[in-house]
């Protein structure tokens, strides 16, 4: 995939209308109060928005929020799949579920952060959005309603994409700045690029520069740290990184599948038995390619999955029945931190253990601390890894923390990202 894409700086946006795809899919309070519990995704969009407004562009921002059912029939189907009783599924409940995913709280918070009014449309491509977009002047910003209120959004319906593009007029520009959504070919992330010249915002440019640069031309040695629960979710990433990394470190729940594949006992630890052959294939492939593949040599085990479980350290592959591995052990911590210390570039995706439990966060914390002390370029691949470094207080010591969990994973797999592929090349 070509990572060298045009950005907002490569087009003249003065006096033009800009359709800007943001990622405002922010977490909301579960009590239905409309309170945003974490606004970092809104803050992440500010540099691009402010630049466009300063350049005299009229900004038409859009984003999805959650997974609303665009029609009552689709809502009903989802509820039945969840085992809900047919009689309890009503149009009133469907409308309430939509109301909880409207963009009013986002508009209010964005207005506070920008220090200027944010005009809010009552629809996405309906009469209210069309009228407000037509009246929008340079230096003003309009926020459309949740793009997923339109049933054609997730289907990348060309008619919906055409209508969204039309809001920006014949001289409009499309700016993609929602990295967390670029792995999805939706109408607002990819489809609109067929009707407007498409460039990246600063957020996506940063992701392409750091992750793309680490994959295409890393400062070596390149060390990849892969954790998380399942081997199956990291297949493509491991395969791709075996082609470019110097060292791959395996931690988290998926380490027990590797351990079992090599004849070890893993007790009640997380295990994907169907993936043992694959794990052995990866060990062999690493050896054939001269890639150093580091697996845990000891592990912290617990008698139950709980923050107050009894725990002890055992050698990897020697976990007794009734016990489960929840973190890497101290010898493994030392091994992994030593590998990181001499790195030129480190990519980290997935925690080393159950970092949500203080008792089993030591491995993840030690790796985060090691990354904070190295002179290497350190890239955190979104999702749980990003949450871990934030929670543990090391976020400001990392070179780059990705804003996209699924998108960064697919990026590291070497997959083409539809929302990036559609942008104009440099």
- Write out the catalytic residue numbers: 41, 230, 383, 406
Q: How far is residue 371's CA from residue 380's CA, in Å, rounded to a whole number?
A: 10
Give yes or no for a contact between 419 and 190, defined as CB atoms under 8 angstroms apart. yes
The number of residues making up the chain comes to: 426
Q: How far is residue 391's CA from residue 365's CA, in Å, rounded to a whole number?
A: 10
DSSP structure string for 343-406: -SEEEEES-SS-TTSGGG-HHHHHHHHHHHH-SSEEEE-SHHHHHHHHHHT-GGGSSEE-S-HH
Q: How far is residue 208's CA from residue 379's CA, in Å, rounded to a whole number?
A: 12
> The tokens of 231 are what?
């081997």
Q: Which of 346, 352, 340, 330 is nearest to 400 (CA)?
A: 346
Q: How far is residue 134's CA from residue 129's CA, in Å, rounded to a whole number?
A: 8
Residue with token string 């725990």:
311
Give yes or no for a contact between 386 and 211, defined as CB atoms under 8 angstroms apart. no
Contacts of 82 (CB under 8 A, 6+ apart): none
> The tokens of 356 are what?
């949500």
Q: How far is residue 76's CA from residue 330's CA, in Å, rounded to a whole number?
A: 51
Q: How far is residue 283's CA from residue 242's CA, in Å, rounded to a whole number?
A: 10
Peptide bond preceding 221 in cis form (omega within 30 of 0): yes
CB atoms within 10 A of CB 108: 14
């Amino acid at each position: 995939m070509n990572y060298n894409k045009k950005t907002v700086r490569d087009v003249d946006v003065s006096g033009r209308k800009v359709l800007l795809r943001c990622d405002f899919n922010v977490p909301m309070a579960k009590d239905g109060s409309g309170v945003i519990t974490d606004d970092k995704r809104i803050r992440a969009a500010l540099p691009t928005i402010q630049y466009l407004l300063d350049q005299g562009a009229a900004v038409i921002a859009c984003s999805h929020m959650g997974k609303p059912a665009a029609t009552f029939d689709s809502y009903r189907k989802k509820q039945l799949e969840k085992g809900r009783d047919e009689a309890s599924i009503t149009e009133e409940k469907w409308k309430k579920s939509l109301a909880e995913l409207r963009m009013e709280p986002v508009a209010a918070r964005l207005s506070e952060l920008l220090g200027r009014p944010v005009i809010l449309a009552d629809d996405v491509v309906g009469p209210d959005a069309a009228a407000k977009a037509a009246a929008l002047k340079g230096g003003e910003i309009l926020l459309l309603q949740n793009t997923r209120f339109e049933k054609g959004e997730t289907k990348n319906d060309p008619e919906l994409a055409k209508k969204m593009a039309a809001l920006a007029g014949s001289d409009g520009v499309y700016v993609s700045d929602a990295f967390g959504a670029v792995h999805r070919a939706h109408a607002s992330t990819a489809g609109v690029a067929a009707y407007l010249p498409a460039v990246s915002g600063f957020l996506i440019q940063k992701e392409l520069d750091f992750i793309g640069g680490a994959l295409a031309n890393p400062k070596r040695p390149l060390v990849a740290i892969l954790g998380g629960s399942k081997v199956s979710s990291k297949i493509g990433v491991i395969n791709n990184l075996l082609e470019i990394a110097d060292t791959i470190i395996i931690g988290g729940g998926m380490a027990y599948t590797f351990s079992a594949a090599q004849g070890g006992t893993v007790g009640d630890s997380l295990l994907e038995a169907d993936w043992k052959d694959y794990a052995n294939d990866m060990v062999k492939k690493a050896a054939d390619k001269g890639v150093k593949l580091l697996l845990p040599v000891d592990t912290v085990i617990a008698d139950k999955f709980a923050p107050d479980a009894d725990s002890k350290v055992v050698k990897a592959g020697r976990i007794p029945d009734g016990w489960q591995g929840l973190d890497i052990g101290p010898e493994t911590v030392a091994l992994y931190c030593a590998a990181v210390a001499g790195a030129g570039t480190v990519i980290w995706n997935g925690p080393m253990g159950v970092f949500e439990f203080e008792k089993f966060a030591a491995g993840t914390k030690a790796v985060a601390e090691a990354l904070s002390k190295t002179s290497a370029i350190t890239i955190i691949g979104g999702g749980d890894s990003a949450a871990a470094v934030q929670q543990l207080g090391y976020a400001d010591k990392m070179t780059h923390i990705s804003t996209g969990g699924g998108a960064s994973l697919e990026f590291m797999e070497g997959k083409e990202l539809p929302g990036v592929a559609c942008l104009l090349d440099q």
